[in-house]
Amino acid sequence: MTGTIVEVTVPEDNNLERIDKFLSGSLEIDFSRSFLQKLIRSGHIRAGGRAIKPNYKVKSDDLITIDIPEPEKLELLPEDIPLQIVYDDASLVVINKQPGLPVHPGPGHWSRTLVNGLLFHIPDLSSIGGVDRPGIVHRLDKDTAGLMVVAKDDAAHRFLTGEFSARRVKKRYSTIVIGKPAADHGRIDLPIGRHRKYRHKMAVDEKGRDAVTEFTLKRVWNSRLGVFSMLDINLLTGRTHQIRVHLSSIGLPIVGDPIYSKKWEKYKVPFLLLASTGLEFTHPKETILLKFSIDLPDHIRAFIERIERLKTSGQ
């Protein structure tokens, strides 16, 4: 076996889950449960170094090793994937990424990614991101919807990368969390690093990189399904899973988050309820300020409609 190796330690919260269910919910890699079962049957997934069956139930602190076979030949091809293009000029394109779409190829999703769709719709993309990430200046998690800027040439790519690094790009997100914050406005200034035990997760860690998230409370629902809040998020840094980790750390996990919310399955949403709804940056050539704003995606609006119907009396 010579593919990519991924190791995952099973948290206590996932004790006795079927292994395919645990892995499909815990990994950012876009594995279907049927594909995971195929890997198990072929011996590519092991627990504690031992071969297992597809119905194996994981145990707390199990070390799961996944040997992901490389594709026979990685060829990045244009694919006719629907993309919502918000803005397009000679230097860049801004898109509204749909939830569930991986940004670039990787283990488990060598095709059907945003990059494949961009290659179909956009004739020219910058080369700085490499052969598998042309034009990609920044990324969103697979299940996070919303605004992304993509560079069409190398000069625009270098400029935009510098703007992100210097924190001059303004990024606004909208999310629905379980519970209600103690204040209408808050600032979470806690460093984030790789979880020391569960390597598929990030965590607040004093030895991690600085991370700052500001939030504003927009709405609160008291429903028979529970108490939920809509928050506007101003992201001042861009760490992996930053919003998800920060909100979970203060007791406000995002609805539908399979990694940082213990009750993620309870609410039966197709994707976590997080979207990039605002983006503001300076154009790389025209030196004008570009501002973009979009509505909430369908899956978030559908959840709002659902809890509106379930509001408790007097609310």
Q: What is the pLDDT of residues 118-135, one digit of tens each?
A: 999 987 888 766 666 788
Residues 313, 182 share a domain: yes
Assess whether pLDDT exceeds 90 at residue 245.
yes
The verdict on whether 141 is a catalytic residue reads yes
- pLDDT tens for 155-209 read 999 999 999 989 999 999 999 999 999 999 999 999 999 898 887 889 999 999 9
- What are the tokens at 14? 């996932």
**Residues 265, 147 share a domain:** no
pLDDT for the residue numbered 129: 64
Distance CA 229, CA 232 (A): 10
Model confidence, pTM: 0.82
* Distance between CA atoms of residues 25 and 18, nearest Å: 11
Q: Parallel, antiparallel, or unpaired for β 145-151 and 274-282?
A: parallel
Q: Does 271 share its domain with 195?
A: yes
Q: What is the mean pLDDT of the chain?
A: 89
Cα separation values, 284 from 131, 170, 178, 182, Å: 23, 15, 39, 40
Reported as a pLDDT band with limits 50, 70 and 90, residue 315 is very low
Q: Which of these, 150, 112, 188, lies nearest to 292 by C-alpha position?
A: 150
Residue 210 burial (C-beta neighbours within 10 Å; 0-12, 13-18, 19+): exposed
- Distant-in-sequence, close-in-space partners of 222: CB < 8 Å, separation ≥ 6: 311, 312, 315
In the chain, what percentage of residues exceed pLDDT 90?
Answer: 66
Cα 118 to Cα 103: distance, rounded to the nearest angstrom? 10
Q: Which domain holds residue 153?
A: 73-166
Pure H helices in the chain: 19-26, 33-41, 114-121, 154-165, 242-249, 298-309
**Same domain? 85 vs 113:** yes
Residue carrying the six token digits 């998690």: 141
Rounded Cα distance between 157 and 169, Å, is 14
Asked if residues 236 and 210 have their Cβ atoms less than 8 Å apart, the reply is no
Segment (H or E) for 50: strand 50-51
Distance of CA 107 to the CA centre of its chain: 16
- Among 45, 68, 91, identify where a domain stops: 68
Do 265 and 186 share a structural domain? yes
Catalytic residue among 62, 141, 143, 153: 141
Mean pLDDT value of segment 84-106: 92
* 180 and 42 fall within a common domain: no
Q: Do residues 182 and 308 both lie within one domain?
A: yes
In sequence order, the 6+-apart residues with CB closer than 8 A to the CB of 248 are 254, 257, 260, 261
- Please say whether the beta carbons of 201 and 223 come within 8 A: no
Say if residue 1's pLDDT is above 50: no
Q: Evaluate if residue 6 carries a pLDDT over 90.
A: no
Alpha-carbon distances, residue 47 vs 51, 62, 65, 280 (angstroms): 7, 6, 6, 46
> Is the same domain home to 315 and 254?
yes
Phi and psi torsions of 119, nearest 5°: -60, -30
Question: End of a domain among 112, 141, 166?
Answer: 166
pLDDT-derived band of residue 33, with 50, 70 and 90 as boundaries? confident
What are the pLDDT digits (tens) for 44-94?
999 999 999 999 999 999 999 998 776 655 577 899 999 999 999 999 999
* Contact of 117 with 104, CB cutoff 8 Å: no
Question: In total, how many domains does the chain have?
Answer: 3
> What pLDDT was estimated at residue 130?
63
Assess whether pLDDT exceeds 60 at residue 262. yes
Q: Is the pLDDT of residue 287 over 90?
A: no
pLDDT of 221 above 90: yes
Query: Once rounded to an integer, what is the mean pLDDT over residues 218-224?
Result: 96
pLDDT band at 277 (very low <50, low <70, confident <90, very high): very high
In the listed set 120, 141, 166, which residue is the last one of a domain according to the structure?
A: 166
- Which has the closest alpha carbon to 212: 237, 241, 240? 237
Residue 173 and residue 313 in one domain: yes
Regarding whether 269 and 127 lie in a shared domain, the answer is: no
- CATH number for the domain spanning 9: value is 3.10.290.10
Co-location of 141 and 159 in the same domain: yes
Q: Identify the DSSP state of 213.
A: E
Residues 153 and 80 in one domain: yes
The terminus-to-terminus CA distance of the chain in angstroms comes to 58
Residue 314's pLDDT band (boundaries 50, 70, 90)? very low
